[in-house]
Amino acid sequence: MTAEIISGKEIAAKKRLELAKEVEKLKAQGITPGLAVILVGDNHASKTYVRNKQKACHELGMYSLLVELPEEVSEEELLKKIDELNNDPVIHGILVQLPLPKHIDEKKVIDTISPTKDVDGFHPVNIGKMMTGENGFLPCTPFGIIVMLEDTGISVAGKHAVVVGRSNIVGKPVGQLLLNRHATVTYCHSKTENLKHYTQTADILVVAVGIANFIKADHIKEGAVVIDVGMNRNEAGKLCGDVDFEEVSKKAGYITPVPNGVGPMTITMLMYNTVKAAAESINR
Ligand SMILES: Nc1nc2c(c(=O)[nH]1)N[C@@H](CN(C=O)c1ccc(C(=O)N[C@@H](CCC(=O)O)C(=O)O)cc1)CN2
């Protein structure tokens, strides 16, 4: 079997066309969705992601504000800036690009963002809402994975979904979102014994471990849906995922590539959440 490629790039482009129309409608009502991105320090990768977020805003006709703070900024100053943005009516969404320097408590920072502007979906209020299935903001990468599955016509209900990785940003929430859609979910992680025992029974396998080419063909079941959230550099410095695409794509039913798989969906769902925040601000 040769897997069908799920192109996040193509699905993201289609979703952005739909979003552009929503932005137009909001603008006709006098509201321009506005996103504030806070970048602390000069991490090269973070700068690229932030630039791409700004570009996406501009392409959709949204307002984007970049707040650049030096690596040495104090936690207090950062929290003060967030508070200012919480009270700024032209800003509907706020995100602090991660990772943050070691001297800043990430949890405190996330907790300071107003849940109504938390377009990353990382605030405990939004995480709680996700768990109970209430209306809130869903974290962008897990949300993007669900949209990719839906767009490809892959049904989740009743399927065995195995998530390898348990980060707060990807692993835990993607398992919850799959559970909310009636999958039977198994979480695996670095302490899991006999990983293959679980991955080989997965109808849907989501991998977010941060180890290049970690998942091999013998980890998966013939015809499985394989979602690769990894973003690593191989020995040659080439971008690659957590899944050995070369061999796994010969056995899987569907597979996401790296690049152009899950990655482009992350920024698209961020735009979606910002438009949603702007629309919901009308009724407050
Ligand atoms: N506040 C946040 N910080 C971080 C998040 C996040 O969702 N919110 N996620 C990641 C970084 N990230 C967005 O911020 C992100 C990473 C990768 C991509 C992407 O499109 N990747 C491309 C490849 C890019 C390349 O060539 O290097 C792909 O997979 O095709 C988008 C967003 C950590 N921080």
Residue 236 belongs to domain with CATH number: 3.40.50.720
pLDDT in tens, 47-77: 999 999 999 999 999 999 999 999 999 999 9
Question: How far, in Å, is the centroid of ligand 1 from the Cα of 219?
Answer: 26
- Same domain assignment for residues 149 and 99: no
- Band of pLDDT at residue 1, cut at 50, 70 and 90: confident
User: 163-203 pLDDT, tens per residue?
Assistant: 999 999 999 999 999 999 999 999 999 999 999 999 999 99
Whole-model pTM: value is: 0.97
Determine the average pLDDT of the residues in 3-7.
98
Q: Which domain holds residue 101?
A: 30-114
- Has 166 been labeled as part of a binding site? yes
ipTM of the predicted structure? 0.97
Total structural domains within the chain: 2
Q: Is 16 annotated as a binding residue?
A: no
Same domain, yes or no, for 189 and 154?
Answer: yes
Give the tens place of pLDDT for each residue, 253-272: 999 999 999 999 999 999 99
Query: Ligand 1: residues within 6 Å at CB?
Result: 49, 95-98, 120, 140-141, 231, 239, 258-260, 263-264, 266-267
Residue-wise pLDDT tens digits, 203-233: 999 999 999 999 999 999 999 999 999 999 9
Structure confidence by residue, pLDDT tens digits, 33-48: 999 999 999 999 999 9
Confidence of residue 154 (pLDDT cuts 50, 70, 90): very high
Q: Which residues are catalytic?
A: 53, 97, 120
Domain membership flag for residue 21: no
- Reduce the secondary structure of the chain to three states and give it as a string: CCCEECCHHHHHHHHHHHHHHHHHHHHHCCCCCEEEEEEECCCHHHHHHHHHHHHHHHHCCCEEEEEEECCCCCHHHHHHHHHHHHCCCCCCEEEECCCCCCCCCHHHHHHHCCCCCECCCCCHHHHHHHHHCCCCCCCHHHHHHHHHHHHHCCCCCCCEEEEECCCCCCHHHHHHHHHHCCCEEEEECCCCCCHHHHHCCCCEEEECCCCCCCECHHHCCCCCEEEECCCEECCCCCEECCECHHHHCCCCCEECCCCCCHHHHHHHHHHHHHHHHHHHHCCC
Residue 253 sits in the same domain as residue 154? yes
